Amino acid sequence: MADLVGVFAASHGPLIGRDWQSLPEPLRARFTRDFGELGRRLTDSRADTVIEISPDHWVNFFIDNLPSVCIGVGEEHEGPPEPFLKDFARTLAGDAALGRHILATALAEDFEPSSSHRLTLDHGFCIPLLRMNLAPLPRIVPLILNDLEPPMPSIRRCLAWGRLLAKAIASFPETRRVAILATGGLSHSIGERTMGEVDEAFDRGCIAALNSGDDAGIVDFLEPALRTTGNGGHEVRNWVVAHAAAGSRGFELIDYFPSPEVYVGCGFASWKLSD
C-alpha cells in the first residue's frame, strides 16, 4: 500500500529562475530559506514519488488541444525547455505504475482526464524542484491542470480531484511513499495591464480560506474572487487540489510576501496530514 507522507505548495514565478542573480540579495535569501524549508520537509518525508500539480505554459498543449487535466504516466519526462533553466535541463524519472493507477482510478470514478507517456516539464514544475535543492530528485508524476485558459475546472472540481488523488494513493497496491507538491500562484498578472501588480488582499483571502479547512468557504471565496484578480491567480486551483488531497485539514503557512520584483504574491505552505 502507498502512504501519503507530505503535501506542499510553492510559487513558481519564472523570474525566480531567469533573474535569480539580479534579484536583491535579501529577496534571494528569503526565497532560498523558504524553498529550502520545503525541501527539508520533503526530504524528511522520505517520499519515493512526488505527484506535482502545475499548469502547462504552452509547452505541451495550446488552445487547439487543451485538456482540463493531463496525468503523466510515463517512465520519464523531459526537463524544462526554457533557456534560463539550462542548468536544470535533464530527463526526470517518472513513476509509470502510480501514474497509470491514478488514471485508472480517475476513470473508474467518472473523471475524464487525458494522459501522456512523455511530457515536457516547464518552469512551473522545475523551478520549485531546483530551488528546493533536492538530491536525489524523487520520481515525478506530473498532473497538469488547466489554470490558463477558460473553461477551467471549477473550484468544486478541484476539491474533487484532490479527494480522488488521496483515494488513488491509498488504493495503490505497491509500497510507495508519496508526496504532493502544488506549484503556482498566488496572485499575478501575465500579459495584462496589471502585469507586475500583486493583489495582496486576494492572497490573504486565499490563505485564510485554505487554512480554515472549510471547503464550502473556499468555494465561496475563490469562485467570485478569481474573476477580479490577475490571470495568474487561477493557479491557486493547484493549491486547492493539494488541500483536498490532504483531507481539508488546513495548513501551515511557511511564508507569504508580495514580490513585485518577480510579479508574484509568493506563498509557501505545508498541509496537516493528521488532526
* Residue range 2-271 in CATH 3.40.830.10: yes
Lowest mean pLDDT segment, chosen from 10-24, 72-86, 89-103: 10-24
Model pLDDT for residues 21-35, shown as the tens digit of each residue:
899 999 999 999 999
Alpha-carbon distance 173 to 205, whole Å?
39
Global confidence as pTM: 0.95
Q: What is the pLDDT of residue 254?
A: 96
Average pLDDT, the chain: 93
- In this prediction, residue 191 has a pLDDT band, given cuts at 50, 70 and 90, of low
Average pLDDT over residues 2-10: 97
Q: What is the pLDDT of residue 187?
A: 82
Which residue, 105, 160, 126, 109, is CA-closest to 52? Answer: 126
Q: What is the pLDDT of residue 232?
A: 66
Query: Which residues lie below 8 Å from residue 264, measured CB to CB, with a gap of 6+?
Result: 11, 13, 15, 185, 186, 187, 188, 198, 232
Residue 110 burial class via C-beta count within 10 angstroms: exposed 0-12, middle 13-18, buried 19 and up? exposed
The answer on pLDDT for 195 being more than 80 is no
Model pLDDT for residues 225-268, shown as the tens digit of each residue:
899 887 767 899 999 999 999 999 888 999 999 988 888 899 99
Domain ranges of the chain: 2-271
The answer on pLDDT for 205 being more than 90 is yes
Q: What is the pLDDT of residue 135?
A: 85
